[in-house]
Structures are given as C-alpha cells and as structure tokens.
Amino acid sequence: MNNFEYYNPTKVIFGKDIYDQIPTKIKSATAGNRIMITYGGGSIKNNGVYDAVMKSLSDYEVVEFSGIEANPEYDTLMKAVEQIKDNPVDFVLAIGGGSVIDGTKFIVSAAKYDGNPWDVLTMKKGCKFEYAVPFGTVLTLPATGSEMNSGAVISNSRLKEKRTMGGVQGFPKFSFLDPTVVKTLPQKQIANGIVDAYMHTLEQYMTYPSDNLLQERIAEGILSTLIEIGPKVMADPGDYKAASNLMWCATMALNGTLRAGVAYDWSTHMIGHELTALHGIDHARTLAIIAPNLFTMKFENKKAKLIQYGQRIFGLEGSCGEEAIHRTKTFFESLGIKTKLSDYTDDYQSTSETIRKRFEDRGWEGIGERKDLTPKEAEKIVEMSI
Ligand code: NZQ
Ligand code: ZN
C-alpha cells in the first residue's frame, strides 16, 4: 500500500430537518455575529432552503451575496471579496451546489490574501492562500463533494480559463446535507450529479491495481451504489432512500477517503475543465465525453483495473476491459447524458489543438497515474471524443 496522510476536519450534519442546528455549529466556529450568506441564481428562494436557513439565522446580522454562477466566475467572486475587505464578516455560509461552495472557498481565501488572487489560481511561484474567513455550507446539489473537501474550481470567461485551487483553508467547518433537497433539482442536474460522483470515484480507481484492497472495495461500493440508485433517483427524486444514498455517495467520492494509499489519475477532469472553459459544457457532461476515450487511449496502462471493474461492477467475465468501457458509456447515456463533443457544440474544429497547446504552455509534459499522458495524447483523446 502507498504511504498516505489522511485529514478531513469538516463536520457533516446529514438528514432531514437539520437546519435548526446551524446556529450551534456557527457558534463553535466563531463568537462573532456578522454572517455573510452566499448563493447562486435563486434556486434556494424557490425551493424553501433560503427561508429555512434564514429562519435559523434570526439571531445573526446577515449580509447576502448572490448571483454566483454555475462555473463560478472570478470577476463575480471578486465583488464579494471587496465587500468583505471593506466590511469584514465573522463567518460565511455557502448555500448551493458545487459552484456556490467553490466560489465561497475562493471568496473566504482571497479576502485574507494581500496579493493578486489570480496568481494563486495560475500557480505563480510563491503565491498561496493560507488563511480564510471561516465558512460552512448548506448543500443543495449532490455532485462535486466540495462540501467535504478543500478544493475549488474557478472560471474566468474573459480568458476562457478554468483553474483549480486547494489547501487546508478550503475545508468547510461544517456542511449540512439534507437529501430531501434532491426532489427540487431539475433532472439534468441529478444526472450531472450521478455522473460527477461516478467519475470522481473512477479517477481514483481506474489506474493500476493497488495493495489497498479496502480503498478499492470502497470505490467499487460507491460505483455499484450509484448504478443501483441512479435510475431510481431519476425516476423519483422524492425517493428518500435513493436520494440519501446519492448524496452520501457524492460526498464520499471526493472527501479524501478514496485516494488514501492508491494511485489516482485526474486526466479526465483536467481535459474536461478545458471543454467547460472553451464551450461552457456542464462539468459532468465533459467527463462523460472524455472518460471512455481516455480509457481506450490508455487501455494498456489501465487494463488490469478495467478487467477488475468489469468483473466486479458489471458481472462480466474474462478479459472484459473493452466491454467495461462500453458499459460505462451506456450507463451515462441511460441517464440522458450525451457522450460526444459534437452533441454539445458545432464549434469543435480547433478544440483538441487548443487543449494540447494549453497543456504544453503550462509545462504539463505528462499527466495521469504514470505521468505519461502527453499533451499530444490529450489532443488525440479530444479528437476521438468528437
Ligand atoms: O444558481 P442556482 O440558482 O442555485 O442554480 C443552480 C445551478 O444553476 C442549480 N441548483 C443547485 N441546487 C439546486 C438547483 N436547482 C434547483 N434545486 C436545487 N436544489 O443547479 C445549477 C448547477 O449548479 P452547480 O453548483 O454549478 O452544479 P455542481 O454542484 O455540479 O457544481 C459544478 C461546479 O463544481 C466544480 C465544477 O467544475 C463546476 O464548476 N467542481 C468542483 C469540485 C470540487 N470543489 O471538489 C470537483 C468537481 O470535479 C468539479 O470540478
Ligand atoms: Zn468532477
């Protein structure tokens, strides 16, 4: 088993009728009374979450920052950063999906940073967020795992860039996970959530056999659970058993557990982020476009794991790697997720070349679990995905 360090300080409060516990959890993070709530385009006002959370915050002075977009925008977030710098708050509560939570991670970090925050996102040497205003989350969309990890992905549409950030300051103090919120989601977002959680699991599994048998079986447990409950949540988002399993799978898929002691490969996400940056395609859909072709391109590297996956998850027999890839694609499509780039845009002619050049410009000679997926191969994978 590989050596590893495992740390996750986020407290999770999971279940129904939990929002009245929000004040107690804020008190354990700050003695202050001035709270900023952050949210997106208004879904929380339509589904009752805003009212329920505001009711719980009645003893606090609350300021609001709304309008955080799907794929949160740097320029929008900087307005919140300025707001906090001008008029500090004691705590920030993010209410939303991955975009609001990621955006909030950036806001609380940049609000305590003296330099240019964009330098941190572009990994300029010596630039790092280290401190943050404490924050917590109320999750409304099970997908990214951002509610229990320290990462964030920030977009800059002026530059057509999408960049990641991380660091211990990015862990929420707590996250409230109420699965009844799933019934308020559009079908498209439920499908996105299932695929994103599935791909987070695969990115930490589809490498080469590790000696961490437990981690592999936890990953397989998440994959099997998502295949079992995914169609049920789609058919009936009010099915609490299915929705609560989706929510917990999505959190567990990216809270640091699966990566402990194993190899991982975030190449699908790295290429997928470029598709969102260039074409605005939903995050999960970019993964469904890229993963099957990436697994095909790196088949020899991943063969043993593809066979293990095919046998354990789909009950296949023998050397079933290719069929396992096919089943994966079929699963995504069964949720209504299209798996070709041309299903989403007609403007794909220069996409593969642009992505290769971007990777070269960043000095990424090789990515993936063996650091051997070259920019040229990334270009080919995108071509195969058209
Ligand atoms: O803005 P509002 O009005 O809230 O609407 C949102 C948004 O339009 C809506 N929504 C959320 N909860 C809802 C709801 N609509 C009705 N009822 C509800 N209960 O859904 C839309 C999409 O929301 P968004 O937060 O963008 O989706 P998701 O959670 O999939 O987040 C995607 C973002 O997370 C990043 C992605 O790159 C993307 O920017 N990721 C973050 C990761 C992390 N921090 O660890 C890892 C992931 O791999 C991913 O990259
Ligand atoms: Zn993802």
Q: 60: domain CATH number?
A: 3.40.50.1970
For the CA of 47, the nearest atom of ligand 1 = 17
118 and 213 co-located in one domain: no
Could you tell me if 149 and 224 lie in one domain? Answer: no
Query: Strands of 91-96's sheet, edge to edge?
Result: 11-14, 174-177, 135-139, 91-96, 34-38, 61-65
Shared domain check, 268 and 155: no
Which two tokens mark 165? 């950030």
| Residue 154: strand pairing partners | 163
Answer yes or no: is 239 within a domain. yes
Atom of ligand 1 nearest to the CA of 40: 1
Residue 27: inside a domain, yes or no?
Answer: yes
- Tell me, yes or no, whether 224 and 114 share the same domain: no
- Any ligand 1 atom below 6 A from CB of 256: no
Residues 190 and 175 in one domain: no
| Per-residue pLDDT, 135 | 98
Closest residue by Cα to atom 20, ligand 1, is: 189
In a domain, 5, yes or no: no
In-domain check, residue 1: no
User: Is residue 6 in some structural domain?
Assistant: no
Residues 163, 311 within the same domain: no
Residue 3 resides in a domain: no
Same domain, 270 and 362: yes
Residue 2 lies in a domain: no
Backbone angles phi, psi at 380, to 5 degrees: -65, -40
Please say which residue of 130, 148, 180 terminates a domain: 180
In a shared domain, residues 98 and 209? no
Number of domains composing the chain: 2
What are the C-alpha distances in Å from 262 to residues 212, 218, 302, 358?
A: 6, 12, 14, 28
Residues of the chain with pLDDT under 70: none
Residues 27 and 160 grouped into a single domain: yes
Domain endpoint, select from 113, 146, 180: 180
Q: What pLDDT was estimated at residue 318?
A: 97
Which residue's alpha carbon is nearest to atom 21 within ligand 1?
A: 70
* Angle (nearest 5°) at CA 106 between 102 and 110: 175
| Residue among 104, 169, 180, 189 to mutate when testing ligand 1 (max atoms within 8 A of CB) | 189
- In order, the DSSP letters of 22-86 are HHHHHHTT-S--EEEEE--SSHHHHSSHHHHHHHHTTTSEEEEE--PPSS-BHHHHHHHHHHHHH
Atom of ligand 1 nearest to the CA of 276: 37
pLDDT for the residue 177: 98
Question: Are 177 and 127 within 8 A, CB to CB?
Answer: no
Query: In this structure, are residues 152 and 105 in contact, taking their beta carbons and an 8 Å threshold?
Result: yes
Q: What pLDDT, on the 0 to 100 scale, is given for residue 62?
A: 98
Cα distances from 129 to residues 111, 164, 220, 227, in angstroms, run: 10, 12, 34, 38
Determine how β-strand 161-165 pairs with β-strand 152-156: antiparallel
* DSSP 8-state symbol, 367: B
C-beta 41 within 6 A of ligand 1: yes
Q: Which domain holds residue 289?
A: 185-384
Q: In this structure, are residues 197 and 143 in contact, taking their beta carbons and an 8 Å threshold?
A: yes
CATH number at residue 326: 1.20.1090.10
Predicted local distance difference test score (pLDDT) of residue 178 = 98
Same-domain pairing of 16 and 104: yes
Ligand 2 centre distance from Cα of residue 283 (Å) = 7
Inside any domain, residue 275: yes
Residue 200 and residue 165 in one domain:
no
pTM of the model: 0.97
SS3 354: helix
Q: How many angstroms does the Cα of residue 102 sit away from the middle of ligand 1?
A: 9
Give 2-33 as a 3 state SS string.
CCCCCCCCCEEEECCCCHHHHHHHHHCCCCCC
Q: Which of 119, 152, 180 is the endpoint of a domain?
A: 180
Residues 84 and 197 in one domain: no
